[in-house]
Amino acid sequence: MSEWTEVAKTADVPEEGTFPVQFAGQPVCLYKLGGEVYATHDICTHGNANLSEGFIVDGHIECPFHQGMFDIRTGVASAAPCTVAVRTYPVKVEGGVVWLKPA
């Protein structure tokens, strides 16, 4: 799969909030920060929790299980106990639609 796939409407993704979707058979979490949409895998690399149920703090998503954090823009683990980055996906927004492409 190398083509862009529509996954949501931009209006579905709350500013400073999360919106879970399915993409290529995987759970993905969409975020909107400063009007820009970002996407990461929805499962924490440490505790197998849904990041879409977590909290956004200064551009990072806090895992709801153990309070580890990931940078939403890069996926980099930014707070213990998380040490492994979460996968990110290329995002484009056109005509009010969010599109994802495999990395």
pLDDT in tens, 24-63: 999 999 999 999 999 999 999 998 899 999 999 999 999 9
Total count of domains within the chain: 1
Q: pTM of the predicted model, to two decimals?
A: 0.94
For residue 73, the domain's CATH number is 2.102.10.10
Q: Provide the domain limits for residue 95.
A: 5-100
CA distance 92 to 99: 5
Distances (CA, A) of 49 to 6, 12, 22, 28, 94: 25, 22, 16, 12, 30
